[in-house]
Structure 1
Amino acid sequence: MQGGLLGDTIPASSLMEIQKRLLDAKTAINYVNDVKKGNCTGGTDNILKLQFDHTRWESYARIAVKTANLLSKMIQENDGKLAEVDETYLFSVVRNNIQGDALVFGSAIAFEEYVFSDYRIFCPYAYMEGSTAMAFDLALGYNYLEPDVEWYAAIKHRDYSNITVLRDVVDLGNRIVSTPESMARVQDGRWTYPYFDCGGGDIWMVTYSAPIIGILNTSGHPEIRFRGVATIDIELTNIDVNQCDPTEDKELPSHGSLDVFRGTHSCQPTTQCRALAGYGFKRGSYLCSCESGYYFPVINAVTKAFNGSDIEAYYDDNNVTGNIEAYQCLKCARGCDTCEDDTPCMIEYSMGVHITLLLLTVLLMLAIGLISFVTHQYRNERVIKSASPIFLQITLLGCAMMSCQMFLIFGEPNDVICMIIPWFAYIGFALAYGALLLKTWRISTIFRFGTTKRVHLPDKVLLQWMIPVVAVTVMFLIAWTTVSPSVSEILVTESKLKYVYCKNDWWLSAAKAGEVIFLLWGVYLSFTVRKAPSQFNESKYISWTIYNAVLLGTFMVVIIQFIAIPQGPDIVYAMTFLYIQIRITLTLVLFFAPKFYSLYKLAKHPELAESEETNARTLYRTTIATVSSPSKYRQHVQLQTTLSWVKSQKPVQLSKSDISEVESQSGSKDYLSVRKMSELKHNQVAPSQMGPAINGW
C-alpha cells in the first residue's frame, strides 16, 4: 500500500495536526459527493486541494515526459518552432498516448503562442469515449493561457535553469547534426490537485504536465525557454476511494485506490471499516463489519455488515452528529471471541449445587467450632489431656482454614481469589497435618528410645518444631505469590463452553509434591508406631488419617484434574468438596470420635474414671517394659486379649454369696477388687491371670 494522508503509520505530529488533516480529508470527500454533473460551475474550477501520493501513477507520467522530450527535440531542430510539422501528426501523438489503459482518460499538447506557426495557440487534445478515442483542438473554445489554468500556468512559471541539457550527435550521411537538447524528467513536471472536468468529460480527474523546452543560442550562451506542455489525464472515476483507517485494509485493490481519504469513514463504534473495490471515486465505498466480540443485529442477513453509503446518507439526510445506534453491532455473550448471535459461550453455574455444598461447608465449620469448644471444656480430662489439647486446637484451626476454600471458589474466581486460595489451603494443611505428624513423631521417638534413655518431649517442645513447618510453608507461599501469583484463566469444557478456573502451573505442582512428601513421612511414622497400644495413644487413628489423606486424597486430585475439570465448574466444585471432606471430615471423625465416646462413657459411668487412669499408667509401664523382652511382650499381648474379651462380655449379675466366697478366698476387703475377681471367676479366667487382669483393668 502506498502512503496516504497518514501513511501506513501515524506520523510523529501533534494530535491537533492529525485531526485537522482528517477534517480536511472529510471535507474533501463530502465535496466530491456534492459536485456532480449538472451542478458544477463549468471548466475545472471545482478543485480538491489535497496532496496525495502519485508514485503509483509514475508510469503514466512518463508518457507525458517522453512526449514532451520528443517535441522539445523537434522544436530545437526547427529553430524553436514547429512550422514543418503537420497538425494531424500531433493529433496522432495524443491519441496514441491514451490508448491501452483504462486509467488514462485524456492527453493534450499545449503550445505557447505561435510555436505551432499555423495558429496563435494550438492544443490538440484526445480523450476516451467508451472504446473510441475522440480528438479536437482544445484551444478553439478554451483559453488555456489564462493564469488560473492550473495544469498549464503553474508549470509555465517554473525555473528551468537547472534542467538537464544533453548534446546528441546524429549522422545523417551527408552531414552530422549536433545540437543541445533539453531532457525533462518526471520531477520536472507537476501533478494537479484532483478537479472535476465540468462540461468536458464530466468526471473527476488529475492531470500531469511535463514541460516542453526550447534552447536558444544567443551570444554563445544557451537560453532555456518554455515552449509548452504535454499532459496525461488520469480518470479518478474508476479509482476507488479508501476511507478506512490506515491500520485497516492495507491490501489495495488491483486497480489502485486513493489513500488521501484514509480515516474519513463513518463506521460506528463496535464496527470496523472494510473498503470495497470497484465503486470508483465516490464516498461511502466501504462496509462496516462487526468488530471481534460483536455480532450483526440482523441474524439472517446475507451480508452481515452495514453499507457505508447508507451511513453517509443517514448523516446527510438527518443532519445529525455523533454516533448512530441503528448502525452499531451488538455485543457477544460474555466469553465469546466471535459470535453469530447471542448464544452463550460461558457455562451456566448450577447455583443449587453450589449453594447446597456451601451450606454443608457451613455446617462443617459449625461442627469444627463445636468440637473446639468441647475440647476446650474437657481439656483437663485424661482422654483429652493425654492427646495434647493445644495440638487438637491447632488441628481444628487447620481444618477450618482448608474448609474456607469452598467459600473462595464459590461462583467465578478472579485473579485475587486465585492468589488467596493457596494460602488457606496450604497453611491449613501445614497446621492440621503438621500437628498430627508431630504427635506421631513424639510417640515414635518414645517407643524407639524410651528403654535406653529418658525421652522428654512435652507440648512446648513440639510447638517449637511446629514453627519450622509453618515457616517453610509461608516462605514457599510468599515466593509463589511474588514470582508467579496464581491467576484465573478460561478453560473449555467437552461441550465447548467456557468457564473461569484458577490456573494450574508448576508452583501448584511443587506444592502438591511437598504435601505428598510430608504425608509419606507420616506414613513412615505410622509404620514405626503400629504396635503401640491404642489405649495409651492415638497412633492408630492418626495412622488411619494419614493413610486416608495419601490414598483417597491422591485419588481425588487425579479425578479433579482429568475428569472434573473437562466437565465444568459444577463437577469441579462438587469434587473439590469431596476432596476437602476426605481431608477434614474423615480426619475429624477418626481423630475425635473415639475421644468423645470415651468422654461419653466416663460421663455415664463416673466410677470408671479411676480404673481408666490406673489402666493407662499400667499399660504405659507394661509397654515400656515389653519393648526389650519378647516373653514379657507375649504376656502383655495375652493380658490385653483377656481384658478385651472380658470387657466384651455382658455385665455379670453376682449374688452376695459369690462375692463372699471370693472375699474369703482372697482375703481382700476392697469391694471393687472383690467384684472384679468375681466377674473373672464367673467368666472362667484362670487364677494365674486374675491378678494381672485386675491390675490392668
Structure 2
Amino acid sequence: MEDAGKLLGATGRLQYIIEGSIPRSQCSDDCLPGNRKVPASSIHKCCYDCVPCSEGEISNVTGSENCMKCTDHEWPNENKTQCNGKLVEYLPFTNDNISLFLITSTVFLCILTSAILAIFILYENTPVVRANNKNLSFVLLVSILLSFLCVFLFLGHPVDITCLLRQTTFGILFTIAVSSVLAKTITVFLAFKATKPGSAWMKWVGTKLPNLIVFICSSGQVVICIVWLTTSPPFQEMDAHSFHTKIIVQCNEGSVIGFYSVLGYMGILAAVSFMLAFFVRKLPDSFNEAKYIAFSMLVFCSVWIAMIPAYLSTKGKYMVAVEIFAILTSSAGLLVCIFFPKCYILFFHPELNTKKHLLDSRNK
C-alpha cells in the first residue's frame, strides 16, 4: 500500500509537469465583454491586443473581434456590455422643479390679472378707467391673461397639435396686446391734440380708430401665421443626436423664417409703441399712460432681445423654459407698468379719480 501511494503521487506530479509544459495555441488572454480584438505588433498571428469598444458600441461575449453599434434610441452602459434605452427629456407638468416654478408663477399671474380685470369692470364708469379708452384696457387685460394661459401649451410631452398651436397662439395673443398698447398710445396723442380749439384731430377721437389699429395690426400677424402653417408648419421631433444619453422630445419650428417673422413683427410693433409713447410721455394729462407704456415697452423689448441668445444657446427642456420665462416676464411687465398705477389711484387716491381733476390737468 505504501509503495502504491508513492507511485500514484509520483505519477500525479509527473502529469502536472507534463501538462504545464504544453505550449498554448495563443499568446494573449481572451478579451472580456466590452472590448474587441485588434492585431498586435507581433509576428505571431495568434497574438492580439484588447481595446474598449468605441462610443455607442458594445460587445457582450468574450473574445469578440467586432463591436455592435447601438441603435439611435439606445446607449451603452458603463461597461459597454449592453445597450440601454436613452432617457426621454421634455418639460413635464409634474416631477420637475423648473415646471413647478413656472406653473406656480403662471397661476399667480393669472389670478392677479383676473383680479385687476374684475376691479376694472367694477370701476368701469370712473374717469381713471374710462381715460384712454376703457375698451382697449379690457382687450389688453384679456390678451395678457390668455398669454399667461398659453404657457401650458409649452409644458408636457410635445405632439404635433401642440407644436402647431404653441408659437402661433402666443404670437397672435402678444400681437393683440402690443397692438392695444399702440392704440392706447395713439389715443393719448389724439386726446391732447383734440383739446385745441378748431383742431382737425377731433374727427379722429373716439373708439373707431383704436379698434381699427388693433384689428389691422393683429390681422398682419394672423397672415404671417397662416403662411407659416401652410408652407412649413411646426411638428414633433425626436432629437437623439444632441446628447449621448438622452432623447429630446421637442417641437421643430418647421420654418425658421416663419418663427422669427412672428417675433420680428411683434418687435416692430413694440418698438413703434415705445418711440411714440416716449415722445408723448410728458403731455399734461393726469391720467396720461404714455410714460408707463414707454417703460412697459422698454421692459418688453429688453426681455425678448435677451431671450433670443439664451434661447439659441440652450437645448431640450431648458430652451422651452427660457421661452416660457420670456412670455411670463414680458406679459407681467405690461400688467404691472400699465395697470398698477391706475389701481393705486383707485384704492389709495380716489380724490384723483374725478372728471374735474382730469379736465383741470388737461387744461394746464
2:177 is aligned with 1:435:
no
The Cα of 1:411 is off from its aligned counterpart by: 2.2
8 Å CA contact 1:395, 1:435 repeated in 2: yes
Amino acid at match of 2:216: P
Change (3 A) 1:441 1:497: same
The Cα of 1:361 is off from its aligned counterpart by: 1.0
The Cα of 1:572 is off from its aligned counterpart by: 2.6
Alignment of 1:677-688 (within 5 A): none
The Cα of 1:301 is off from its aligned counterpart by: 5.4
Q: Where does residue 160 of structure 2 map in the other structure?
A: 415
Q: Where does residue 613 of structure 1 map in the other structure?
A: 355
Q: Where does residue 585 of structure 1 map in the other structure?
A: 332
Distance 1:547 1:583 in 2: 10
The Cα of 1:609 is off from its aligned counterpart by: 5.6
2:109 is aligned with 1:367:
no
The Cα of 1:494 is off from its aligned counterpart by: 6.3
Alignment of 1:245-644 (within 5 A): 299-300=60-61, 302-303=63-64, 336=73, 340-347=82-89, 351-447=96-192, 451=196, 452-455=199-202, 456-491=204-239, 493=242, 497-504=246-253, 505-533=256-284, 535-562=286-313, 564-565=314-315, 568-569=316-317, 571-602=318-349, 608=351, 612-622=354-364
**Deviation readout 1:499-522 (Å, 9 max, x if unpaired):** 122224111011122122112211
Distance 1:595 1:304 in 2: 77
Change (3 A) 1:342 1:495: closer
The percent of aligned pairs where both chains have the same amino acid is 19
* Structure 1: tracts of 5 or more residues without a match: 1-293, 306-328, 623-697
Amino acid at match of 1:593: F
**TM-score normalized by the length of structure 1:** 0.39
Change (3 A) 1:304 1:574: farther
Distance 2:216 2:97 in 1: 42
Amino acid at match of 2:142: L
Distance 1:515 1:599 in 2: 31
8 Å CA contact 1:400, 1:428 repeated in 2: no
Change (3 A) 1:517 1:303: same
Root mean square deviation, CA, Å? 3.0
Amino acid at match of 2:277: S
Distance 2:178 2:140 in 1: 7
Structure with the larger RCO, 1 or 2 (CA within 8 Å, 6+ apart): 2
Q: SS of the counterpart of 1:425? A: helix
The Cα of 1:454 is off from its aligned counterpart by: 4.2
Distance 2:143 2:65 in 1: 58
The Cα of 1:599 is off from its aligned counterpart by: 0.7
Larger radius of gyration: 1
Change (3 A) 1:416 1:502: same
Q: Where does residue 693 of structure 1 map in the other structure?
A: none
Amino acid at match of 1:619: S
Distance 2:206 2:333 in 1: 27
**Deviation readout 1:551-605 (Å, 9 max, x if unpaired):** 222112221222x33xx31x234322321222111211111111111111245xx
Distance 1:594 1:424 in 2: 29
Q: SS of the counterpart of 1:468? A: helix
**TM-score normalized by the length of structure 2:** 0.71
**Deviation readout 1:506-546 (Å, 9 max, x if unpaired):** 11011122122112211221232032135132111111111
Change (3 A) 1:302 1:591: farther
* Structure 2: tracts of 5 or more residues without a match: 1-55, 77-81
The Cα of 1:343 is off from its aligned counterpart by: 4.9
Distance 1:473 1:415 in 2: 21
Change (3 A) 1:299 1:402: farther
Q: SS of the counterpart of 2:249? A: strand
8 Å CA contact 1:536, 1:620 repeated in 2: no
The Cα of 1:617 is off from its aligned counterpart by: 0.6
Distance 2:265 2:63 in 1: 59
Change (3 A) 1:513 1:384: same
8 Å CA contact 1:447, 1:529 repeated in 2: no
8 Å CA contact 1:489, 1:503 repeated in 2: yes
Distance 1:363 1:487 in 2: 31
Q: Greater CA deviation, 586-595 or 534-543?
A: 534-543
Distance 2:90 2:167 in 1: 26
The Cα of 1:384 is off from its aligned counterpart by: 0.8
Distance 1:373 1:432 in 2: 18
More strand, by proportion: 1
Q: Greater CA deviation, 341-350 or 482-491?
A: 341-350
The Cα of 1:485 is off from its aligned counterpart by: 0.7
Q: Where does residue 11 of structure 2 map in the other structure?
A: none
Distance 1:499 1:401 in 2: 28
The Cα of 1:337 is off from its aligned counterpart by: 6.1
Q: SS of the counterpart of 1:354? A: helix
The Cα of 1:425 is off from its aligned counterpart by: 0.7
Distance 1:617 1:356 in 2: 45
